[in-house]
Structure 1
Amino acid sequence: MNRFFKPLYGLLLGGTLLGSYGCTNYLDEVNRSNFSQNSYFTSASQAQSAVDGLYASLRMFTADNGYGERPWVTLELINGHATTLGQSFFNSQFINQTADAANPPFRTIWQSSYNAIGSANLAIQRIPAISMDEALKKNLLGQAYFMRAFFYYHLVRLYGDVPLILDPIDASSTQLYPTRSPQADVYALIVNDLKQAEQAGLPTTDQTGRVSTGAVKSLLSSVYLTMAGYPLQKTENYALAAAKAKEVIDLNVYPLFTSYDYLHDNAHKNQGELILQAQYSSAIATNSISAQIIPYFARVSVYGDEYGSLIPTEGFYKTYESGDLRAQERQFYFTSYPSITDTTRTVQFGVHALYKYFHKESALNRNVNSDQNWTLLRMPEVMLIYAEASNEANGPTAAAYAQINAIRSRAKLPALTGLTKDQFREAIWKERYHELAYENKAYFDTQRTRKVYDVRNNRMVDAIGFTNESGTTFTEKYLLWGLPQYEINNNRALTQNTGW
């Protein structure tokens, strides 16, 4: 039987995101033998536990798909601005665009997303009937609506038309073997869910890792920007994207960090410009993000493996402007580090590895697990959404310049001024590449703009038919992922994307 959703008793339910609410941790084992969809949602604490359990699925991007293979790595390798120094067969397939629909990341994202959506559907259906504090009920439903929108947003961008399921599924459901729904319908659901979350009384910002009103508005601005581009091309949404991004800017609660180190240390998790992150904690949930970005067995950390899974291309690194702070040693990148076995010796990498994700707390201490958070939304993205969307709607404005120039000022770069609409658009796209480098934004930008970064000539060009610095020619097939072959095999109502 094709399992789009695990039943409620098959999911980990418990008290908290990472143990900060209540006494039970949602990763702890619980007795599921007496759980059912009808009997579980009877109290406020059960409603809280059900919603808290949704947050674990945000970790799907760092899920282990094999040696050196993670979905977040896959998303970067497809765009051609990274190589892999490890021994991963699947990673090489994504660089060369020779993958097939059986590749592990396709199934990981699909199943993780639909499991989360199934749990959100249960929460949205069952929580309203619970006798509990109405403000808390509204808050929990807002979080559930956000989560459903978040996961559908990733599904519709990665796979195109996808099954649109809004009710809980069980063995007797007519939607057990669903068909694909048009992308426009999926986006309509996403927008509606986020509007529901906007009105849920969530806190403006949240430093515990929960969804906030700022996170809702930030994601909605991204959704509107994507809808304005390909494939929907609802260009009226540029104005909506700009307006929603401005609402986040006007909140004035997400200040840019004064140091890039704060993007990947433990002390600044969920603070400053970090709007929403997937949560990790040493004793509860860990990851290998830091080990993935260290060149293959460089021996500069205490990690058992240094994978070299994702190494920026030198071609991309060289596109940073002269004097850009982000390109200087141990800002976004690093080329050397002291040997972990001989601190008097410095290991030269021969490449610009991604210091942006180097987690010193765990890399240099065997007693600390790797638990840096994975960033999903941060303020520079919202600022650049505003700049791009307002430029498309009204051309370059002082307000749009102010947002991109604030990012450039932190990077010690001169302010932009006096550009035409077309020049400003390209400048914003490049700034997205440089500021949001390797944060899983570039591939989605390629999808919605149909443009890629020609790093040899420092310009944006049509994606289809372009040969990148890795020697791979981008094909139309890779504007979408293949539906997981496992799902196709088990649900004859599903059709495959072209070329897969």
Structure 2
Amino acid sequence: MKTKINILVLTAIVLLSAACKKNLDLDQKGVYNTDNYFKNETDGVNAVTGIYNLLEQEDYISHAETTFDVASDDYWRSGDHSEDEAIENLTYDASNAQVRYSWTYKYETVNRSTNAIINIPKIPTMNEAVRSRSMGEAYFMRAFGYWRLMLIYGDVPIISESDFTNKTFNKPKSSVEEVRKQIEADLLKAVDLLPESYGTTDRGRVSKGTALGLLTKLYMYWEKLPQAITTGQRLIDNPKYNLAATYKENFTRANETSTEILFSVQGLQNIVQNDYTIYYIPRAWGGYGFSQPLQGLADEFEANDSRKAATLLSVGDKINIGDGVDDQTFTSSLSSTGFAFRKYAVFYPFGSAEGNGVDHNYAVPLMRSADIYLLVAEARIRTQGAGAGDALINQVRRRASTLLPPVAGAGMTQLIHERRVELAGEGERHQDLMRWDKTGIVNIATIYNRAVSKAPVDQGKTVTFIRPKHYYYPIPQVEIDKAGGVLVQNPNF
């Protein structure tokens, strides 16, 4: 999530990088480290802003996180990255580049967050509301880093404040259970410390609702269903996190004020900077054409479901790619599968003050309230029986279209369908299927074999899921090597 504040930091970094080309002309003003940096409120706020800054990196959130969903039955990886192909086909090993990038950026999130957690309380003069908020942000971001580490790698090292202070970073793995407890502790602190919302100047920072949303997700993956219901309901009952009026507005240039978007990569950006847009849109339109939806996903949408048109570009669809007119036709030559993701195809008008190359505010959603509505509905179904989640599922369906028939007595089949069409392309499908497979709700191997057989073209997608090996990815081999025997590789790798 890049806020407008982040852009000032990014600009400084860009200017510094340019200046480095003439490093003999630099007038060095000082050397900053942990001991001499945290002097005032501005330093504390900027330190937290620097944590958000990491989310702008394509090898952290945008392309990298999408890659960890490409094994699913929703899309073909496309593109020319061999590391993506290996992740899609579940043939990756510990040398995989994407596996390596992911580890590095997530631990950098933990590193920067812990640094802030240790040092912000030491700042002598600071508005206490800003100090509290900043601490809440740091706790959330550390929890988010560990959350993604845990989902991707399973058992991972926990670096505590004392480890950070003592520089004891070479540590053995902690169990998934221990990592979950660490995430929970950080999120509970974040819930207490964060405000419910922000003013225009600080728009995009994580809120109490953001922390409640991730805590709900944690409890669902932990199989703590009653806690998920209680936590998620706190978010659902708060109008500050209501669903947006329409589904498609979550994915437009005007979405920065959406109450539904709980966590996002938000900031001033153009088509060149927005890696989600770059990777999803066709190459002929200036993108890379990665992650192309499969026919099976398109078939999953019901008639009259407006989410299909908002989510997918299909052959024959018209779209405005910057000239103000919906006059560009999506043709079969633009995608090997016949589809692309419309929800991330965000363009800016040419030949105006809003033209491509000019910065615009746009929030790329990382977590939405609709996700939490459906998780609470799932928890209710699984604890109270079919029909217990109907009200929440129908809120999501009614927002999509009043023409969609309401569910009645919905069980897991309907819930699974609803999560697939609501969250398509948002990185949830593969992890959803794996957690349901672990509890015997679905058979992930059967689902993935069916996805291959329905592919409209031969994309070479062969997915053989092996339990328990493929529930987690390997620890990067370079990290194993650096640890000198302290860090042990995951089983089966």
TM category (shorter chain) comes to 0.7 to 0.9
Identity value in percent: 26
The one-letter amino acid of 2:97's match is: P
What is residue 392 of structure 1 aligned with on the other side? Answer: 382
Instruction: Tell me whether 1:474 sits opposite 2:465 in the alignment.
Output: yes
- The answer on 1:308 being equivalent to 2:289 is yes
Change (3 A) 1:348 1:226: same
Amino acid at match of 2:472: L
The corresponding residue for 1:177 is 170
The equivalences for 1:206-221 within 5 A come to 208-221=203-216
Aligned partners of 2:60 and 2:102 also within 8 Å: no
1:24-80 residue CA offsets vs partner (Å, 9 max, x unmatched): 5355137685212222122222111111111112335x3389xxx921331221223
Tell me, what secondary structure is at the counterpart of 1:253?
A: helix
Structure 1 letter corresponding to 2:94 = A
Question: What does 1:204-353 correspond to in 2, within 5 Å?
Answer: 204=197, 208-228=203-223, 237-282=224-269, 286-295=273-282, 297=283, 299=284, 301=285, 303=286, 306-328=287-309, 330-335=310-315, 336-337=317-318, 346-349=329-332, 351-353=338-340
* Corresponding residue number in structure 2 for 1:431: 418
In structure 2, the CA distance between the partners of 1:425 and 1:345, relative to structure 1 (3 Å rule), is: closer
Alignment CA distance shift 1:253-1:310 (3 Å):
same
1:371–1:287 Cα change, 3 Å? farther
Distance 1:128 1:222 in 2: 29
Aligned residue number for residue 28 of structure 1: 12
Residue aligned with 1:391, SS: helix
Partners of 1:360 and 1:17 in 2: CA distance:
19
Q: Name the stretch that deviates more: 358-367 or 41-50.
A: 358-367
1: CA distance, partners of 2:342 / 2:328: 19
SS in 2 for 1:106: helix
What whole-Å deviation, never above 9, does each CA across 1:267-291 have from its counterpart, x for those lacking one?
Answer: 1124231111022322799223223
Q: Equivalent residue of 1:375, what SS? A: strand
User: Aligned in 2, Cα 1:271/1:32: closer, same or farther, shift over 3 Å?
Assistant: farther
Q: Per-residue displacement from partner, 1:142-195 (whole Å, max 9, x unpaired)?
A: 11111111111111111011000012767972x231110111111111111111
Aligned pair in 2 of structure 1 residues 167, 383: CA closer, same or farther (>3 Å)? same
Q: Report the 3-state secondary structure (helix = DSSP H, G, I; strand = E; otherwise coil) of the residue aligned with 1:280.
A: strand
Quote how far apart the aligned CAs of 1:261 are.
3.2
Paired position in structure 2 for 1:462: 443
RMSD: 3.2
Determine helix, strand or coil for the equivalent of 2:160. coil
CA distance in 1, matches of 2:330, 2:385: 48
**Deviation for aligned residue 1:407:** 1.2
Shift in CA distance, 332/284, structure 1 to aligned 2, threshold 3 Å: closer
Structure-2 residue corresponding to 1:403 = 392
Structure 1 range deviating more: 50-59 or 369-378: 369-378
- SS of equivalent to 2:193: coil
- 2:35 counterpart of 1:42: no
Assess if the C-alpha contact under 8 Å between 1:135 and 1:201 holds in 2: no
**1:397 to partner: Cα distance:** 5.2
Specify which structure has the higher proportion of helix: 2
Aligned-partner SS, 1:474: coil
> For 1:82-134, what per-residue CA distance to the aligned partner results, in whole angstroms no more than 9, with x for missing partners?
11343332222222222222222212221111111111111111111222222
Distance in 2 (CA, whole Å) between partners of 1:486 and 1:197 is 33
Residue 494 of structure 1 is matched in structure 2 by 487
Report the CA distance shift for 1:461/1:32 in structure 2 as closer, same or farther (over 3 A): farther
Q: Does 1:373 align with 2:353?
A: no
Task: Specify the SS of the correspondent of 1:76.
Answer: coil
Structure 1 partner of 2:158: 164
Alpha-carbon distance between aligned partners in 2 of 1:70 and 1:485, rounded to the nearest angstrom: 21
Once the two structures are TM-superposed, the CA of residue 246 in structure 1 deviates from its matched residue by 0.5
Q: Closer, same or farther in 2 for the Cα pair 1:104/1:123, shift >3 Å? A: same
Report the Cα offset of residue 353 of structure 1: 1.5
**Inter-CA distance 32–441: structure 2 relative to 1 (3 Å threshold):** farther
Partner of 1:13: none
Segments of structure 1 that go 5 or more residues without pairing to the other structure are: 1-15, 229-236, 454-459
Summarize the Cα distance change of 1:483–1:27 in structure 2 as closer, same or farther, 3 Å threshold: farther
1:218 deviation in Å?
0.9
Opposite residue 390 of structure 1, the aligned amino acid is R
Offset from partner CA, 1:12-33 (integer Å, 9 cap, x none): xxxx954448x95355137685
Pair 1:239–1:254, CA change in 2 (3 A): same
| Aligned residue type for 1:240 | Q
Gaps of 5+ in 2: 17-27, 453-461
